[in-house]
Amino acid sequence: MNNNHAKRPKAAMGGRMAGMMAGDKAKDFKGTFKQFVRYMGVYKYSVMIVMLFAICSTIFMIVGPKILGKATTVLAEGIMGMYAGSKDGIDFGAIGEILLFLLGIYVVSSFFSLIQGLIMTNISVKISFRLRRDISEKLNRLPLSYFDKTTNGEVLSRVTNDIDTLSQSLNQSLTQIITSVTQLVGILIMMLTISWQMTLIAVGILPVSLLFVAFIVKKSQKQFTAQQKYLGQVNGHVEEMYGGHQVMKAFNGEEKSVRKFDELNEKLYGSAWKSQFFAGVMMPMMMFVTNLGYVAVCIMGGFFASSGAITIGDIQAFIQYVRQFTQPITQVANITNILQQTAAAAERVFEFLDEEEEIPESENAIKVNTDDKADTELNVHISGSVQFAHIHFGYDPKKTVIEDFSADIAPGSKIAIVGPTGAGKTTIIKLLLRFYDVQEGAVLVDGYDIRDFRRKDLRSLFGMVLQDTWLYSGTIRDNIRYGKRDATEEEIIRAAKAAQVDNFVRTLPNGYDMILNEETSNISQGQKQLLTIARAILADPKILILDEATSSVDTRTEIMIQKAMDNLMEGRTSFVIAHRLSTIKNADRILVLDNGNIVEQGSHDELMAKGGYYEKLYNSQFEVV
């Protein structure tokens, strides 16, 4: 093996896991919206078109009452002329022309509104798609430590509830804000062209309305944030209880589960009804204030019309404008409530997207050479030797789990790792697979620091059979093929036979085409384990990791599996985590761990002859109580 690539000696790696337990950030709605606007930057031209079309639609809609007022004036003048005897009657021709022109105005307005609605819907759907895609990709870049402290339901809530809230709000609220502001400005201008005195009265209600809006927004902001938070917690609890309902029932945990759900649901109910109360009370309060202004305008308008200062049509148009003038204020008030909920959802989504990721891989990462080409500095064959060089690690950097652990494993060795619960057995495997990075020292494969490999290449070297089986809803064939996506039918059958799977699969309905249900409860636990072993055999890895792989099968099946495992492990470096020490007597070397350190190592016979920690641990499993 040409190991030209620089190998890392024992080195301090303290900064690699820093920052993963940072505290919660302060709520920053302004900052969240700025971040959301930046996220929408790729659609800025489409948003500008939406804004332009929304403004055009609103302008054409605003001039409608003024034009309709002219028709009212013609009608009123005709009626008054008939009574006074100075005119022949109502000029229906002029009224018809005005109404046709008004119809054209409204058609154009509707056209602009339709186009901007279609564009905005397309934008909101694309942004939702991007957010879900980014979250999905983010999940693959997050370190395992994130999932240790976050429930599945909490993550799921951000992908579903929070993004749906953003999508709906974006689709409805953005154009409504634009049209509301345009309406407010346009109606104000139109009212000033009719009567500045009446306009002052109409505008006078605006400060009062804004005070109500500011008061309600201040109260509702906290409640909308709490609502999104507790919704995530409720989803997390329900998902956990549903996924583990068999365990919950087996230990009579129904009452405790319901009690916790009621507690979380009560908090969600409290924040939800308060937020909805503030959202619902805004409209009646706004209507009360605006109706006062409306009455004042009607009285002054009647006075001006009686004195001939303005026409009847202008009064009719102004009254319509007053009604419309309060509408955008009310809309803005309602949108403000929606935006508070949107901000809370957006903040949760962006907090997730901003989570610290796994350490980026080097552009010059070593690749595993799977061809027959000669090794190069960045493309190497792996024989399967493993070295642990004075590693130090703790899930919490302040609390060390493994301290100064060293071991040199030759290619093709069968290594058993034993020790009491909490000794660090599974942690060693997690470090080997680089689910976590060591704080000090290094883990090396064939002399290369595993941090110099791409994670994808590194993990392709390993095959795993865990104590907790993992299968997904799909056919048995597809679950086995997960170990090697391009495997042929012959390879799948060969791996199944080697894992003692073929016989029992052929007795099942549809055989290899049988669909495993969502919880894979339509086969036994032992059969699940056999399928995961077949998957590992199919993967044909350089290094095997077996975490009590035969713990879920009966004695007869265990003997057959053990034989298949012995054949599988031949010529491969194997790490076997064992609790039943009788299963690892034939290991080349046994590493005995206690409190993260190797206290003994050697073969079974050597360790038994020493009469030390391993001998006591082994005999304790056969003591008769």
Tell me the chain's radius of gyration from C-alpha atoms: 36
How many other CB atoms sit within 10 Å of the CB of residue 285?
17
Least-confidence region, from 14-18, 67-71, 374-378 = 14-18
Could you report the per-residue pLDDT of 135-179, keeping only the tens digit for each?
A: 888 888 888 778 877 777 778 877 788 888 887 777 777 777 778
**Antiparallel, parallel or unpaired: β 573-577 and 543-547:** parallel
Per DSSP, helices labelled H in 195-253 are 196-243, 245-250
Could you report the per-residue pLDDT of 301-350, keeping only the tens digit for each?
A: 777 777 777 777 787 788 888 877 767 776 776 777 777 777 888 888 88
CA distance to 22, 429, 507, 584, per residue, from 436 (Å): 17, 10, 42, 27
492 half-sphere exposure, CB direction, 13 A CA radius? 20
Q: Which of 247, 255, 150 is nearest to 519 (CA)?
A: 247
Could you report the per-residue pLDDT of 366-416, keeping only the tens digit for each?
A: 777 666 665 666 777 788 889 999 888 888 878 888 888 888 988 888 888
Q: Is the pLDDT of residue 10 over 70?
A: no
Q: To the nearest whole number, what is the mean pLDDT of the chain?
A: 79
- Whole-number pLDDT of residue 320: 80
In percent, how much of the chain has pLDDT > 90?
Answer: 2
Contact 569, 414 (CB under 8 A): yes
The pLDDT-based confidence of 108 (bands split at 50, 70, 90) is: very high
Could you report the per-residue pLDDT of 349-370, keeping only the tens digit for each?
A: 888 888 888 877 776 777 776 6
The pLDDT-based confidence of 553 (bands split at 50, 70, 90) is: low
Report CA 218 to chain centroid distance, whole Å. 28
Contact 359, 452 (CB under 8 A): no
Could you report the per-residue pLDDT of 199-248, keeping only the tens digit for each?
A: 887 787 777 777 777 777 777 777 777 887 888 888 888 878 877 777 77
Q: Is the pLDDT of residue 107 over 90?
A: yes
Query: Mean pLDDT throughout 180-208?
Result: 82
pTM beyond cutoff 0.75: no
- Whole-number pLDDT of residue 372: 62
- Whole-number pLDDT of residue 443: 92
Could you report the per-residue pLDDT of 593-613, keeping only the tens digit for each?
A: 888 788 888 888 888 888 888
Least-confidence region, from 4-8, 43-47, 123-127, 566-570 = 4-8
**Antiparallel, parallel or unpaired: β 573-577 and 414-418:** parallel
Task: Order the strands of the 448-449 sheet from edge to edge.
Answer: 402-409, 386-393, 440-445, 448-449
> Got the DSSP string for 292-341?
HHHHHHHHHHHHHHHTTSS-HHHHHHHHHHHHHHHHHHHHHHHHHHHHHH
